[in-house]
Amino acid sequence: MGEDYPHTLMELERRFHEERACAEYLAKLRWPTGWVCPRCEGRESWRVRRNRWRCGQCRYEVSVTAGTLFQDSHLPLTTWFRAMWYVTSQKNGVSALGLQRVLGLGSYKTAWAILHKLRRAMVRPGRDRLNGVVEVDEAYWGGEESGAIGRGAEEKALIIVAAQANGKGIGRIRLRCIPDLTRASLHGGLLPKPSSREALSERTVCRLTGS
C-alpha cells in the first residue's frame, strides 16, 4: 500500500468519519495483499463484530487492532485517527492539554495516554545512531522549585541531551532521562547510542570526565 493518508482536516473528516472506514483502512495496511489467517494461513474471511475478522476455514477471529497501539483501547478509532492527524500536522509540537481540548475529551489523563502512545509509536525502530562530532549536556525539566537552582534541584527530571554537530548548526539529537550526574549514569546514558565513529567534543569530554 503506497502513500495514502489525508493531507487536510477536511479530507480526514470525509474519509474517516465513521468507525468502519477506519477499520477497513487498518485492514488494508495490515493485509496489503489480502487477508491471511495467522493460524491456518487461509485466504477467505468476513467481518464480524467490532473491528474483527473471522477466517473462513478455521473460524479463527482476529482483531485488526491486535498488536497495535489501539489494542485494548475503549476509544473509537475515529478519535485515534483525529489524534494522529492533529499530532503529526502541528509543527511546534502538541501538549496533552491541547489534545484534550481539540478532541473534546473529558479526561486529561486520557489525552496524556493517547499522546504518550503516539510519541512512542513515532520513534523509528533501528534508527541510525549519532555520528561525527557530538556534544552532550544535561538539563532539568520541571516546574519552579523553591530554593533550588540548577544542580540543586531535587524534584525535577534530569535529562541528558546529545546533539550531532552539523557545520555551524545542530543536526540530529537524542534525549534520555538519567537518575543522577555520576560518571556511570552519564556514560550509560550516552554510550549505548553513539556509533563507533563518533567523536565527542572537548566540552563534552571535560564534562564527562570531570576535568
The pLDDT of residue 151 is 58
Top mean pLDDT of 80-94, 115-129, 144-158, 185-199 is at: 80-94
The whole-number pLDDT of residue 200 equals 46
**Ramachandran angles phi, psi of 128, nearest 5°:** -65, 145
What pLDDT, on a 0 to 100 scale, did the predictor assign at position 100?
Answer: 95
High-pLDDT (> 70) share of the chain, % = 79
Find where cell 525539566 sits: 141
Of 162 and 147, more confident:
162
Q: What are phi and psi of 117, to 5 degrees?
A: -65, -40
14 confidence band (pLDDT: 50, 70, 90): very high
Cell 533550588 locates to 148
pLDDT given at position 194: 47
Do 153 and 140 touch, CB atoms closer than 8 A? yes
Residue 65: partners with Cβ closer than 8 Å, 6 or more residues away: 26, 51, 71, 73, 77
pLDDT at 16 (0 to 100):
93
**Which residues, other chains included, contact 10 with Cβ-Cβ below 8 Å and sequence gap of 6+?**
none
CB 97 within 8 A of CB 111: yes
| pLDDT, tens only, 71-84 | 888 999 999 999 99
Contact 156, 137 (CB under 8 A): no
Indicate the pTM of the whole model.
0.65
- The confidence band for 86, taking pLDDT boundaries of 50, 70 and 90, is very high
Beta strand 199-200 with 133-141: parallel, antiparallel or unpaired? Answer: parallel
Report the sign of the C-alpha dihedral through residues 91, 81, 26, 6, in that order. negative
> Quick one: pLDDT band at residue 204, thresholds 50, 70, 90?
very low
